[in-house]
Amino acid sequence: MDRIRIVGGNPLIGSIPISGAKNAALPLMIASLLTSETLTLKNVPHLADVAQLARILGNHGVDLTVVGKRLGDNGDHGQTYRLRAAEIVDTTAPYELVSRMRASFWVLGPLIARMHKAKVSLPGGCAIGTRPVDLHLQALEALGAEIELDGGYVLASAPGGLKGAHIAFPKVSVGATHNTLMAATLAKGETLIENAAREPEIGDLADCLNKMGAKIEGIGSSTLHIQGVDELHGAEHAVLPDRIETGTYAMAVAATGGDVVLEGARPELWQSALELLRNSGVEIEERENAIRVARNGSGVGPSSVETEPFPGFPTDLQAQLLALMSLADGTSTVRETIFENRFMHVQELARLGAHIDLKGDTAVVTGVKSLRGAQVMATDLRASVSLVIAGLAAEGETVINRVYHLDRGFERIEEKLGQCGAEIERLSS
Ligand SMILES: CC(=O)N[C@H]1[C@@H](OP(=O)(O)OP(=O)(O)OC[C@H]2O[C@@H](n3ccc(=O)[nH]c3=O)[C@H](O)[C@@H]2O)O[C@H](CO)[C@@H](O)[C@@H]1O
Ligand SMILES: C=C(OP(=O)(O)O)C(=O)O
């Protein structure tokens, strides 16, 4: 199993290209199930989750060609994927494939919409809470699907096709919004989704669906109107830049000190985290198609924040913030409101000398003058990268075990940080 070795203490200086967003690329790839024509996606990141989803889609009959190069090769920006589901050959998404990642469950909506039936295993994903799928199922039932649970599978059918409905989510869910939105594009009549998630990745999917012939209004708001159409067609779309990768590297620079330009980053996608860093004394300059992040000499101020659905502070940056606040001048409080078990990184950060007390859903972080390198264990995707940030800022050597979590969501992380002066390498075993 690969490990990452870091010798901390170097400031980060240089530039880092921001990849296409994992959490946008995945639903966009799934949207290919909705049409028999070719969907071309540009700026697709090279990630383990993308490769796994390609396997899942291949099992349903999607023909996938990769025509672009990896980010950075000859200045190319990301990979270009051509996906064509001329025919759906299998409407089952098996446990072996789906259990490894959360987004794979989102094939359910498109499969019922196009094929009027589907059998999809309950999903996996980061172990950060119970992560039920009740909202997905209730919304698909409202659209007319009959749903049964059997042997860990969701069996869904809608012999006469889906019908538009009024769906008011009792809780904001990114995945349930993606699933319902895709299903509703091919339902008969009008669908109204209230309390929809407003994450930019939802907007990216909706924009792409509209290019494919869908009729979606209200993009970017919490109320989506969808007028169903008989069929969708091919389109071309570029995956939006990864706001979580952007925030992660910004926090790494804030932790180590230095000066880095995040190429391709867009400020409006992570405004809440950007403001938090600014208020903590980190210099942030918004440029056209880039964001410069710098911290020279001064310390980092503490902060108090709660994770929230977009546009609030994202849960996917909470672990990284804890790593940074471990070195702040004072005490920070960080409340996790989205996932009930997303603090696994706390005990690992403690190995490096962080002082974090967990009080229910709130982490109280007392800043220390310095961290010291240690052996640590990655427990989930964002937890892993919080250990990378802490390791970069710590004195001495940190070795992170189980880095396969990191490969699910961070493209070429050693290379991107290494070119900014970090001493970081992958130890293959
Ligand atoms: C691949 C992807 O894009 N994953 C993201 C997505 O996950 P995911 O789509 O799984 O997260 P949701 O937005 O659905 O979850 C939000 C909350 O709603 C709850 N819930 C969700 C569905 C449901 O049917 N019932 C229910 O109770 C969840 O347990 C959680 O407490 O959004 C999360 C919240 O921004 C991010 O952390 C993940 O990175
Ligand atoms: C939690 C995440 O992913 P997933 O929903 O696939 O587990 C994440 O991207 O931080």
Ligand 1 centroid from CA 189, angstroms: 28
Tell whether 134 is in a known binding site.
Answer: yes
The pLDDT assigned to 77 comes to: 63
Tell whether 69 is in a known binding site.
Answer: no
Residue of 386, 429, 408 whose CA lies nearest to 6? 386
* CA–CA distances in Å: residue 98 to residues 104, 121, 127, 306, 354: 5, 6, 14, 31, 36
* CA–CA distances in Å: residue 77 to residues 118, 241, 248, 266, 370: 35, 11, 20, 15, 37
Catalytically active residues, by annotation: 126
Tell whether 42 is in a known binding site.
Answer: no
* CA–CA distances in Å: residue 76 to residues 20, 54, 262: 12, 21, 16
Nearest CA owner, ligand 1 atom 22: 133
Task: Name the residue of 107, 126, 343 whose CB sits within 8 Å of the most ligand 2 atoms, as the mutation to test its pocket.
Answer: 126
Q: Is 400 helix (H, G, I), strand (E, B) or coil?
A: strand
Answer whether 2's CB lies under 8 Å from 427's CB: yes
The Cα 421–Cα 358 span in angstroms is 34
Q: What are the two backbone dihedrals, phi and then psi, of residue 5, each rounded to the nearest 5 degrees? A: -110, 130
- 410-415: which pairs have CB atoms within 8 A and are 24 or more residues apart? 410/47, 410/245, 410/248, 410/381, 410/385, 411/19, 411/45, 411/46, 411/47, 411/70, 411/71, 411/245, 412/46, 412/70, 412/71, 412/72, 413/385, 413/388, 414/4, 415/72
Q: Which two tokens stand for residue 350?
A: 């403690």
The Cα 312–Cα 293 span in angstroms is 21
Residue 133 CB less than 6 A away from ligand 1: yes
Say which DSSP state 10 is in: P
- The DSSP result for 106-166, as a single string, is GGHHHHHHHHSEEEEEPP----SS----HHHHHHHHHTT-EEEEETTEEEEE-TT--B--E
Q: Which two tokens stand for residue 222?
A: 């919490």
The pLDDT assigned to 128 comes to: 74
Answer whether 105's CB lies under 8 Å from 133's CB: yes
The pLDDT assigned to 272 comes to: 97
Residue of 242, 257, 259 whose CA lies nearest to 300? 257
The Cα 138–Cα 142 span in angstroms is 6
The Cα 277–Cα 250 span in angstroms is 8
Residue of 368, 365, 336, 354 whose CA lies nearest to 398? 354
Residue 94 CB less than 6 A away from ligand 1: no
**Residue entry with tokens 């919004």:** 177
The pLDDT assigned to 72 comes to: 47
Instruction: Kindly list the averaged pLDDT for each block of 10 residues, start to end, along the chain of length 429.
Output: 95 97 98 98 95 96 84 61 98 92 95 98 79 95 97 96 98 98 98 98 98 98 98 98 98 98 96 97 95 94 98 98 98 96 95 97 98 94 97 98 91 96 93
- Tallying the residues shown for the chain, one arrives at 429
Tell whether 338 is in a known binding site.
Answer: yes
Q: What are the two backbone dihedrals, phi and then psi, of residue 324, each rounded to the nearest 5 degrees? A: -65, -45
The pLDDT assigned to 75 comes to: 46
Task: Name the residue of 128, 338, 361 whose CB sits within 8 Å of the most ligand 1 atoms, as the mutation to test its pocket.
Answer: 338
Nearest CA owner, ligand 2 atom 8: 316
Nearest CA owner, ligand 2 atom 2: 126
Q: Terminal CA-to-CA distance of the chain, rounded, Å? A: 6
* E strand intervals along 158-246: 166-168, 190-194, 215-217, 223-227, 235-238
Residue 340 CB less than 6 A away from ligand 1: no
Helix, strand, coil share of the chain (percent; to 5): 35, 30, 35
Nearest CA owner, ligand 1 atom 36: 316
